[in-house]
Structure 1
Amino acid sequence: MENGILTEGQQKDTELIEKLLDKIVKKKGFENICANAEGYETPAKIRRGKDNDEFFIPDVTGEVNGRKSYFELGMKSGDERQLVTKWRLLSTIAELKHGKLYLAVPRGHMAFTNRILADYPIKAEVVKI
């Protein structure tokens, strides 16, 4: 697992990423899957800004019918501002590529995820895992 902004801070569990891959990504027929987990090619890094060396790494990316979608684990974070920035950026990029942002939410994180989506203009499909 490669570390970008938030990757280390959230302690993303490889087991949850595998669950995300099995229950959502593969089930929906996505191809060219990249995941920030062992055994997969790491998704492309997305720079935070033009003159900034910081970058975000999506948890999973995949394509279906030439449309690229992004998948993130929707989990509580101590740095809410960075999380919102990442989700807004991924949502915008997905929209430009005619795809979607999917937020896979494990048990205990749904209220937090729904609050973020209600408070900020982020287009995302929420899926329980």
Structure 2
Amino acid sequence: MENGILTDAQQKDAELIKTLLEKIVTKKGFDNIKANAEGYETPAKIRRSKDTEEYFIPDVTGEVNGRKSYFELGMKTDDERELVTKWRLLSSLAAYKHGKLYLAVPRGHMAFTNRILADYPIQAEVVKI
């Protein structure tokens, strides 16, 4: 698992990413799947801005009918600002590529995720895992 902004901060579990892949990505028929997990090609790094070397790495990306979608684990974090920045960026990229941003939310993180989506202009489909 490569580390970008937030990757360490959220302590993303490889098992949760595998659950995301099994329960959502493959069931929805996505192909050309890339995941920030062992055994998969790592998704492209997305630079935060032209002026910085900091970058985000999506948890999972996939395509269906030529439309690229992004998949993220929706988990609580102390660095809310960075999380909002990442989700807004991924949501915009998904819309640009005619795809969607999917937020896979494990048990205990739904209220946090819904609050973020209510407070900020982020287009995302929330899915429980």
Which category of TM-score, normalised to the shorter sequence, fits these structures?
A: over 0.9
Query: Match of 2:52, as an amino acid?
Result: N
Match of 1:69, SS state, is strand
Q: Determine the structure 2 residue equivalent to 1:115.
A: 115
Deviations 1:66-122 (A, max 9, x none): 000000000001100000000000000000000000000000000000000000000
1:68 and 1:60 map into 2 onto residues whose CA distance is 11
The percentage of counterpart residues that share the same residue type is 84
Question: How many residues are aligned here?
Answer: 129
Gaps (5+ residues) in structure 1? none
Aligned partner of 1:18: which letter?
K
> Tell me, what secondary structure is at the counterpart of 2:127?
strand
RMSD over aligned Cα, in angstroms?
0.2
TM-score where L is the length of structure 2: 1.00
Point out where structure 2 has 5 or more consecutive residues left out of the alignment: none
- What is the deviation of 1:48? 0.1
**Aligned mates of 1:41, 1:78 — CA distance in 2:** 28
Residue 40 (structure 1) aligned with residue 40 (structure 2): yes
Moved over 4 A (4+): none
Letter in 2 for 1:45: K
Residues in 1 aligned to 2:9 and 2:109: alpha-carbon distance in whole angstroms: 16
